[in-house]
Structure 1
Amino acid sequence: MNSNIIPDGIWPVMITPIKQNGDVDYDALKKLIKWYEASGVHGFFANCLSSEMYELNRKERIELTEFVVKHSSIPVLSTGTFYDNTEENVDFIKELSDIGVDGVVLITSILAKEEDSDEVLLERIMEIVDHTTGIPLGLYECPVPYKRLLSSEAIGKLASTGRFVYMKDTSCNADVVVSKINAANGSNLKIFNAHTPDCLHSIRHYGAGISPIGANFYPELYTYLWNNGRGEILNEEVIRVKDFLVKNDGIVHHKYPVSAKYFLSLRGLPISEDTRKSIEKLEDEDKKQIENLYDNFLALSRNVGISEFAISE
């Protein structure tokens, strides 16, 4: 464990390459890690929804996380709550901590049922806090099994424990994100926006960074926004990058994560479209749309001076 503070910036929700036989493709994952790092991202959220965490068994979740920690030069977070009782979750969180992750993330919709009150959710989170002394924790408003949002009041209470370092907000509401940023102000808890359409708004209102699925397509566009979008004046290039990301957000989400895997293959990464998720295969029209997106990404990158990163051998 490095420290109780994680860096601000871009934290991709990592894709997991899968072989045709269904195994995790660790050779491809190693190249993917180095490619992400070359694009300037600041940390990794491994073993998350984009990583196909629900399609992995316990052993695979540990092995995947351990591999990312071993081969990364930047901090790593991993999801630690997959069970409906505190004891099992605590055991798994401790196992992840022993691997050397920089924080273990709690899924809000696993810890409470849809009909449970916020008080029940906070009580269960605090049970984990009490039984995982010294382990930095995160919060994830994962939309599966259902989306359970945290109120700004709850954020303030959890931030005051000093144990939380990361939160992935999925409210898709710019004002809500800013209210959570304000609630966590002055604490170790950093708010990361998952929603591309208002990601620039959140980082300009002192958000700690972004954790969007689009960073699995072109992370350098997000690092460009992070590096250039927080000044008093927004230049024309920043606006163009932001508009490109917003305009193409629908393509990114369509048949995701297969769409991301195909896009990454166009970028030269040895990643197949294979997935364990129940996602429809890409049709020819889907592939054509993604190929057009890739061409448009290259044109934008040239126009604003963003270099495409070589694939590490």
Structure 2
Amino acid sequence: MSNPYSDFKTQLQGSMVALVTPMQANGDVDYPRLAELIDWHIDQGTDCLVAVGTTGESATLSMQEHSDVIHYFVKQVNGRIPVIAGTGANNTQEAIHLTTEAKAAGADCALLVAPYYNKPTQEGLYQHYKAVAEAVDMPQMLYNVPGRTVVDIAQATVERLADIDNIVAIKDATGSIERGKQLIEALGDRIVVLSGDDATALELMHHGAKGNISVTANIIPKAMSDIFNFALKGDFDTANAIHNDIAPLHTLMFVESSPIPVKYALHRMGKIDKGIRLPLVWLDKKYHDQVDAGLRTAGLID
């Protein structure tokens, strides 16, 4: 029996932007700015947009805000490109609720971060993802980022989860090329492997990854789109040339915890207001000159 989600997997490729959630200076979600960012990214060639992921400050939005942003996001995109909605939680029932809301909003796929803080076993991880997949009939993507969650989805667990039809992809944000290669070799075309680490994404595409869910693409969507589209065509010489030009920005966007630097950069570019929510704070002044210099070199500010 064929997998009903096979056709959707082909859409999960290229440059996927983990979009910031613009906020006003008082911390309120800035919906007009969000609409402008979405339209800009689509115009710049972004292949998919991620709503309310880690970069979108999912951890500081209320449950209602989380759902509201996803609904607004889907409406603004209006079918022009796929929308991936961050719906992960360390409470399985909460993850099911958020994923149900994302489906109701019309999101194309749910991105589910590994349950953080409570440190589930591999069996617990399997049962968590299986429960969400069975509860909500929509494409779902695993998200492994042990540097944030303090839990690592083992390859054997990913292989078990790949047997579930609507688990269609994994965002591998380990930053380990070897881990990514092992996933690609083991999974074949069962689920799509995507990078979640800007600095190593292109290298992982050499080994068969289909694209990157990016932080840096928030500020240079056209360049990142070009890199991954050239890579998908097998033109790694051109992709590497562009990558080498913009590589310093990857470092700058992580001088402090993301999305602090990328929000500062977007503010300097005039794209968003100076809004971020506690416990995150605005970029430390000691980094301002360094980030500004990188933005000027890239032609993003005067």
For normalisation by structure 2, the TM-score amounts to: 0.87
Instruction: Sort the Cα spacing of 1:192 and 1:234 in 2 relative to 1 into closer, same or farther, 3 A.
Output: closer
Residue of structure 2 equivalent to 1:252 = 253
Q: Cα distance 1:231–1:124, how it changes in 2: closer, same or farther (>3 A)?
A: closer
Q: Identity of paired residues, percent?
A: 20
Which residue identity lines up with residue 117 of structure 1 in the other structure?
T
Deviations 1:244-273 (A, max 9, x none): 34333221112332321232234342x123
Q: 1:177 to 1:277 in 2, by over 3 A?
A: farther
Q: Does 1:102 align with 2:111?
A: no
Q: CA deviation at 1:157?
A: 1.7
1:232 and 1:19 map into 2 onto residues whose CA distance is 42
Amino acid at match of 2:22: P
Task: Tell me which of 144, 164, 172 is aligned to 2:175.
Answer: 172
Match of 1:302 in 2: none
Out of 55, 78, 85, the position equivalent to 1:78 is 85
Amino acid at match of 2:295: Y
What's the CA shift for 1:230?
Answer: 4.6
Shift of 1:231: 5.4
* Aligned mates of 2:270, 2:146 — CA distance in 1: 30
Q: Using a 3 Å threshold, how does the CA distance of structure 1 residues 95 and 280 change in structure 2: closer, same or farther?
A: closer
1:43-122 aligned within 5 A: 43-72=48-77, 73-84=80-91, 86-110=92-116, 113-114=118-119, 116-122=120-126
Match of 1:225 in 2: 227
Deviation larger for 210-219 or 11-20: 210-219
**Matched residue, 1:304:** none
RMSD: 2.4
What SS is found at the alignment partner of 1:7? coil
Task: Return the offset for 1:275.
Answer: 0.1
- Specify whether residues 89 and 7 from structure 1 end up closer, same or farther in structure 2 by C-alpha distance, changes over 3 A only: closer
- Amino acid of the structure 2 residue aligned with 1:15: V
In structure 2, how many angstroms separate the alpha carbons of the residues matched to 1:181 and 1:261? 32
Aligned partners of 2:59, 2:162: CA distance in 1, in Å?
Answer: 27
- CA deviations 1:153-197 (Å, max 9, x no partner) are 22222122121123211111111112112233222x211101122
- More displaced, 243-252 or 41-50? 243-252
The alpha-carbon deviation at position 279 of structure 1 amounts to 3.4
Q: 1:137-152 alignment to 2 at 5 Å?
A: 137-143=140-146, 146-152=149-155
Q: Distance in 2 between matches of 1:143 and 1:150?
A: 8
Q: Would the aligned equivalents of 2:88 and 2:115 in 1 still touch at CA under 8 Å?
A: no
Q: Which residue of 2 aligns with 1:311?
A: none
Runs of 4+ in structure 1 off by over 6 angstroms are none
1:125 and 2:129 matched? yes
| Residues paired across the two proteins, number | 292
How far, CA to CA, are the matches of 1:231 and 1:136 in structure 2?
A: 25
Deviates more, 1:204-213 or 1:74-83: 74-83
Could you tell me which residue of structure 1 aligns to residue 37 of structure 2?
32
Give SS of 1:229's match.
Answer: helix
Structure 2 regions of 5+ residues with no counterpart? none
Q: Distance in 1 between matches of 2:281 and 2:99?
A: 33
Q: Distance in 2 between matches of 1:149 and 1:171?
A: 9
| Alpha carbons 1:109, 1:145 under 8 Å: kept | no
CA distance in 2, matches of 1:252, 1:246: 10
Cα distance 1:201–1:285, how it changes in 2: closer, same or farther (>3 A)?
same
Query: Can you list the C-alpha shifts for 1:22-76, whole angstroms capped at 9, x where unaligned?
Result: 1100011110001111221111111111111111001100110111100112111
